[in-house]
Structure 1
Amino acid sequence: MVEPEGSGSRPTAGNGAEVNSTSSPQAVPAPKKTQIPDSPPPKKPGGSKVRGSWPLYLIIVAVAGIVGTLISWGFLAGNLAALGLPDPGPITTAGLPFFRAAGWIFASLAAGSFLFSAFLISPKVPAQSPAAGGKKNRRSFFAPPSDQTAGEDENETPATPESVVAARDRDTAARLSAAPLTVDGHLASRAGSIAAICFGLIGILMIPLVLSDVSGQPFSVAVQPAGWGTALDQVAEAVAWQWAAIFALITGVAGLFTRKWITQPLLFLGSILMIIPLGLEGHSASGGNHDYGTNSLLFHMLFLVLWIGGLMALLAHGRRLGPDLDLALERYSKIAFVAIIAMAASGLVNAGVRIQWSDWFTSNYGLLVVAKTVGVIILGLFGLLHRQRTIPRIKAAADKRGLFLQVAFVELLVMAAVTGVAISMGRTPPPAPENMDLSVMAIAVGWDLPKEPTLSSVWTMWRFDLMLGTIAILMAAAYIRGLIKLRRKGMPWKNSRTAWFLAGCITLGVCMSSGIGMAMPATFSMHMVAHMILSMVVPVFLVLGAPLSLLLVAAEPGAPGRPGLREWVLVAVDNPILKFLTHPAFNTIQFIVIFYILYMTPFYETMISEHAGHLSMNFVFLISGYIYFWEMIGPDPTPEDRSTLGKLGWLVFSMPFHLFFGVYLMQLNVILGEVFYSRLELPWEIDLLADQKVGGGIAWGSGSFPMAIVFGVLFNNLRKEDRQKEKEIDAKAEGDGYEDLDAYNAMLSQMSNRDQQS
């Protein structure tokens, strides 16, 4: 860590190692190892210790909670009258919005702190890989492509993306994986862990508070042991808080025992996971268009915690006088810019599906939406301009960070107030929709299906899928951006890869936004069509596009001691967890077992009954299929390089299980999801058992097209491997004068002579 000016210490690099001073000819001794937990806190130039940031965090929590409480209390009478509930008392009236707002601030602090320790500042990257001098050729993660001729002169061979990847820092992933956190990284991680634990404890407290709110019981009654069972059995929001608390406590406790950088991305994912249950319930998860409401709310919440939490972590880092503030500011500014756009757009979409335009300025709910949206846009633009002016100043002189700290603190206070406004919306019912005559299907699924899906009619029904449709567009845009960067470098890229990846994005978007995606929740047969496309077609197309290779070549390597996107991707690919997941035994089993667990247990009925279940299944299908086909046929680097013949063996091994699954469904006479499908009241007659058998036939026969592509790729790879081996044998024979062949012929001659003599 860099000491501030006036401390009298040696200058240090970003990774904590001392550097040579140009004014001193003497060699600088190697630095002593420092235990992170026992490292002394940094000091100001004047010599006094930098104060901790928890008082500031608590001020932000208080502002968000008080604003939410005041607004909720002001609308209390009208809200209770609209909901037809008695007053639950002052503890619930004040405590519910206060702790809900406090919980979101703590969730933001947890996500922002882990984001900070993982991606905004640099760890102590060792100068040499810990494995250096140990095992050689442990695996061919960075090996040149199999069709590259051995012994070719690199100066005469045109540079390819794969050869560039092979030539760059082969031990980068190992060094970064082994890197410990800096003092500032450890402090940020510890703040994230404590914040996650606080969020988990608030989640437990919210269970009786939510029961008191929805039932009108006083908190003293709802908090009794009997009330907890009632809340978790009958109140969806209470169940959501329960799961949020479980994920938060696991993340927080795990974070207290970690000191390596490699754990921080996982903790960051845990901090995101703990807010997802709260996005899958509430106003957005019920009624018509609830898929738009839920999906937009998930986007909104994700970028909310990144926006607020990232700035809180930056503020704490600036107060600690930590290094890399310019780097952290630059990276956070990009995240904040995307967050502002995503929050404003998703917030408007979320409100638009629940209230009419005429209610935006005439209802309490509409006024809160307008106030929150205006606050987000103004605050976001203000913060963006502030950071653009501050970053060059901090790069020029470290003592300019005082201006950033002052403005950032004011910005955070306004953020907290905006959060309080948003939280008060959770207790404010939206105006009644103009069309109260919603069909059973619109309530259960989110939309109406006007006609029976057939081979032709599915292309006449369209409804954009806000989640996977948006992801498909973003993936295509990111891939094209990578191609543009590659072209600027003058490097080639196979057009076939581009065609495969864009075909995967188009297939994903069209599948989920056409009649296939619309009918997926309504009938078993169309569910199976979408399932097969998501798990066996889209992943095949995407992996053949080699997106990781494109990213590794297009992204610039990070500066020494400052790993960036390229280094993070290398570690994401080269780590023990992914190595285990992509092992052929586990990979094959996970791809097969998902089918059987979902359709041979009561799990299926539970999943199709809620939008959260549909959303989870879609992501599981995509991720499971991508991992399977990435290891099987993907041209991208994988943790372990395995022979094509072995992959063919595993593929042949798995095929009977896929075929048996389809046959099982065709012979099954028990209707899966019968209760849910029967109450949809579809506008056409449907035989649920016959439809299920059609779905089984689809599962049995739909794998032919993707499997043909897979077999074709594997046989082509096998041909390339044989050609490579032949070239290696020929090169070796020419090098040693065909000694092996002469020895073999001599052995045959001796055997022939012995036979003649006998």
Structure 2
Amino acid sequence: MSSKQKVQSTWPLYVAAILVGAVIAGGISYSFVADSLAALGIPDPGPATTFGLPALRGAAWLLAALAIGSFLFSAFLIPPADKALGQAKLTVDGHIAARTGASSASGIAIIGVLMVPLVLSDVSGTPLGQVLFQPSAWATALAQVAEAKVWLTVAVIAAIVAVCGYTLGDWMAQPGLLIGAVAIIVPLGMEGHAATGGDHDYGTNAYLWHLIFIMLWIGGLFALIAHGRRLGPHMEKAVARYSRIAFFAFIVTVISGMISTAIRVQPSDLFTTRYGLIIVAKMAGVLILGIFGFAHRQLTIPKLSSDKSAFVRIAVVEVFVMAAVTGIAVTMGRTPPPPPRDPNLTNMQIQMGYNLYEAPTFLGVFTIWRFEILYTVIGILAAVYYLWLLRRVDNWDHRRTFWWLLGCVSLGVTLSSGIGMYMPSGYAMHMVGHMILSMTVPVFLVLGAPLTLVKEAFPEGEFNPRAWVEAFEKSKFLKFITYSPISTLQFLFVFYVLYIFPSFYELAISEHAGHVLMNLAFLVSGYFYFWELVGPDYIEGRPRVPIRLAWLFISMPVHLFLGVYLMQLNTVMGEEFYLSLDLPWNPDLLRDQKNGGGIAWAAGSFPLALVFGILFVGWWREDKQDSDRMDTKLDRDEDQEWEEYNKMLSTYSRHDESAAQHQPFTTQQTKQRTKLVKPSAPLDDDSGAAKDTNGEDPRNS
């Protein structure tokens, strides 16, 4: 360490960056507030709301970035104190980063609560002071204002992450805390301009990609600056890992931003409307950040071993640019967008984002396509990463490659073809998609053994994806979720909870966020269930095949019963939503629902038959291995018995010879002893045991 270098606190930098983002967000929004309120016909609620609401929103976004980046850092950018990750405690630097993430989540929780009265003040034009201390006003906000509910949800998630971040100091908790920190911002990605109007499925999904990866980009840089200012170890590897994340985040941010812009703004509006100018300013900021990232890769990263301060100096400037871009982005939610590209939207476009013109048919669903940009893209990325890993592995079973790619293709085809397009329009097509996503795609994916491939692609003894996978395979969470009764129950729970409660089903299908979360639940629940049953990837303490087969037999009738229940149900679930679509073929909703029940009853036959076949073959192989192992053991034990028998005879022989020296045998005794065992008796070819003079095994006499 150079004598000129000294440890520096980073909290003043955090506070300054958050203030920059908040002031820019509040200032720009406040300057546009008159037009915004006039467009909405709302009286001015006063500066406390018009400036404070966007300012706090900007602060919340930057705190979310800091939380995400801090947990990313403690989980994956630097190693913990011990190579055995399952029991490893965080290093001092990891502990500081985790505490920073927990503190940031605490700040978001406080802001989330404050946003409830602020949102009510904003939409009603009531001064903040009149609603802040009135419980009835809070109740009104939560009952009638969707954005208030979103912020309360954000506050609850953030509070949980904060408590866990403060109390859990081992490495195993950090990946989960990172997922929790990302979950904080997901509700914010489901509301706003992107979630309304035509093509809002594209707008919402693109916004989710945009928001999550820009948070990873900004937050990771926050964490690295703090690590550099406290002169922490492993800086070179941490920066190298972050550089790859930042490069991918830059690409995702640019592409998702272009998609969102193309949906909401015509090219002529970019320089003629305030909304368009904000988009241009944001795009310019992102490009500047891309230049900073290029500078890091070309100039500062090669010099990290000799001059860590070079990275920090450039990164500090970069993070303030990020804060400014965040503040600008926040104002988009406060600025009236230009008129929609198509002002004559149908009810289907408003509810689903697109139009359908005819009833679905078996072949017809494969003649219309609408590329789904969330799970389909995830499937493409998963396939590409799998194929990239194959380049690092020799002698891989290519049947596993076939299954994995088939799963990725099935996921994309299901959601991007007419199957995915018709899923929101009727119960039967919803059930077709559900069955594929929960009972077909997961089977294909687990047979691809992706975790085994990761382990074989990376070396042992290093802090790399192999170590992360091995720690996950030994985690308490995986032991719990793949415990046969729990695995079966969680799989059946996802089926039953969605369809037994009609109000819950209608809430889930009437919002795009509901579709996103439902599809996620189908995929994750099915993956864990079938992984425990037939997945080649390692699970510690996995029961033997007969026990797993028994659990499959237990779950099958329970699963089939739901289909029978739905076929007999005479109450139409989601009726209000389906009627609001004004479908041109005027479907019989009750009949469609009964058809959906029949699909639920019958559609699982193929994947369950495949799983049964795999388990049956596994049982046969397991039984054969047991038999071979027993035969080997018997052969080994038999050889050992022969050796012990011969040793016993040899011992008796030496004993008798010694005794003969002191007391000679009579002639008759000598003849009897010679008849029992001759010194020149032939040996059995297989065991080496002695035979008697008649060629018989003495043990058989």
Same structural fold, with TM-score higher than 0.5 when normalized by the shorter chain: yes
Larger displacement relative to structure 2 (720-729 or 57-66):
720-729
Q: Which residue of 1 aligns with 2:36?
A: 79
Q: Which residue of 2 aligns with 1:265?
A: 175
* Counterpart-to-counterpart distance in 1, 2:252 and 2:540: 34
Q: Which residue of 2 aligns with 1:664?
A: 565
* Counterpart-to-counterpart distance in 2, 1:179 and 1:214: 49
* Counterpart-to-counterpart distance in 2, 1:192 and 1:733: 59
Whether 2:196 is the aligned partner of 1:286: answer yes
Pick the aligned partner of 1:707 from 588, 591, 608: 608
Pick the aligned partner of 1:622 from 523, 529, 533: 523
* Counterpart-to-counterpart distance in 2, 1:738 and 1:690: 72
* Counterpart-to-counterpart distance in 2, 1:79 and 1:678: 33
Pick the aligned partner of 2:265 from 339, 355, 363: 355
Equivalent AA in structure 1 for residue 311 of structure 2:
F
Structure 1: segments with no counterpart, 5+ residues: 7-43, 127-174, 742-758
Equivalent AA in structure 1 for residue 204 of structure 2:
T
Q: Which residue of 2 aligns with 1:303?
A: 213
* Counterpart-to-counterpart distance in 2, 1:466 and 1:244: 24
Pick the aligned partner of 1:220 from 129, 134, 147: 129
Preserved contact between residue 304 and residue 310 of structure 2 (Cα < 8 Å): no
Q: Which residue of 2 aligns with 1:194?
A: 103
Q: Which residue of 1 aligns with 2:426?
A: 523
Q: Which residue of 2 aligns with 1:129?
A: none
- Report which of the two has the higher share of helix: 2
Equivalent AA in structure 1 for residue 440 of structure 2:
V
Q: Which residue of 1 aligns with 2:378?
A: 471
Whether 2:252 is the aligned partner of 1:342: answer yes
1:264 deviates by: 1.2
Whether 2:480 is the aligned partner of 1:580: answer yes
1:283 deviates by: 1.1
Pick the aligned partner of 2:165 from 230, 236, 255: 255
1:740 deviates by: 9.0
Pick the aligned partner of 2:296 from 378, 382, 386: 386
Equivalent AA in structure 2 for residue 385 of structure 1:
A
Whether 2:532 is the aligned partner of 1:631: answer yes
* Counterpart-to-counterpart distance in 2, 1:690 and 1:82: 45
1:739 deviates by: 7.6
Note the alpha carbon deviations across 1:473-504, whole angstroms, 9 max, x for none: 11111111111222xxxx11222111111111
Equivalent AA in structure 2 for residue 185 of structure 1:
G
Preserved contact between residue 348 and residue 373 of structure 1 (Cα < 8 Å): no
Secondary structure of 1:259's counterpart equals coil
1:558 deviates by: 5.3
Q: Which residue of 2 aligns with 1:721?
A: 622
Q: Which residue of 2 aligns with 1:121?
A: 78
Aligned counterparts, 1:583-594, within 5 A: 583-594=483-494
* Counterpart-to-counterpart distance in 2, 1:296 and 1:656: 40
**Higher-RCO chain (CA-CA 8 Å, sequence separation at least 6):** 1
1:366 deviates by: 1.2
* Counterpart-to-counterpart distance in 2, 1:274 and 1:377: 27
* Counterpart-to-counterpart distance in 1, 2:584 and 2:266: 27
Note the alpha carbon deviations across 1:421-471, whole angstroms, 9 max, x for none: 101111012111132111111111111112111111111111011111111
Aligned counterparts, 1:485-500, within 5 A: 485-486=392-393, 491-500=394-403
* Counterpart-to-counterpart distance in 2, 1:648 and 1:207: 51
1:382 deviates by: 1.7
Whether 2:295 is the aligned partner of 1:420: answer no
Aligned counterparts, 1:29-68, within 5 A: 50-68=7-25
Equivalent AA in structure 2 for residue 595 of structure 1:
F
1:593 deviates by: 2.0
Pick the aligned partner of 1:377 from 255, 269, 287: 287
Secondary structure of 1:639's counterpart equals coil
Q: From the superposition, tell whether residues 478 and 316 of structure 1 become closer, same or farther in structure 2 (CA, over 3 Å).
A: same
Preserved contact between residue 733 and residue 739 of structure 1 (Cα < 8 Å): no
Equivalent AA in structure 2 for residue 574 of structure 1:
K
TM-score norm. by structure 2 comes to 0.89
Preserved contact between residue 264 and residue 341 of structure 2 (Cα < 8 Å): no
Preserved contact between residue 110 and residue 192 of structure 1 (Cα < 8 Å): yes
Note the alpha carbon deviations across 1:585-625, whole angstroms, 9 max, x for none: 01111111221111011211111111111111100000000
Pick the aligned partner of 1:435 from 338, 342, 347: 342
Pick the aligned partner of 1:450 from 353, 357, 371: 357
Larger Rg: 2
Whether 2:140 is the aligned partner of 1:230: answer yes
Equivalent AA in structure 1 for residue 419 of structure 2:
I
1:715 deviates by: 1.0
Secondary structure of 1:736's counterpart equals helix
Preserved contact between residue 329 and residue 387 of structure 1 (Cα < 8 Å): no
Preserved contact between residue 372 and residue 418 of structure 1 (Cα < 8 Å): yes
1:702 deviates by: 0.5
* Counterpart-to-counterpart distance in 1, 2:583 and 2:561: 31
Q: Which residue of 1 aligns with 2:688?
A: none
* Counterpart-to-counterpart distance in 2, 1:558 and 1:106: 35
Pick the aligned partner of 1:650 from 523, 548, 551: 551
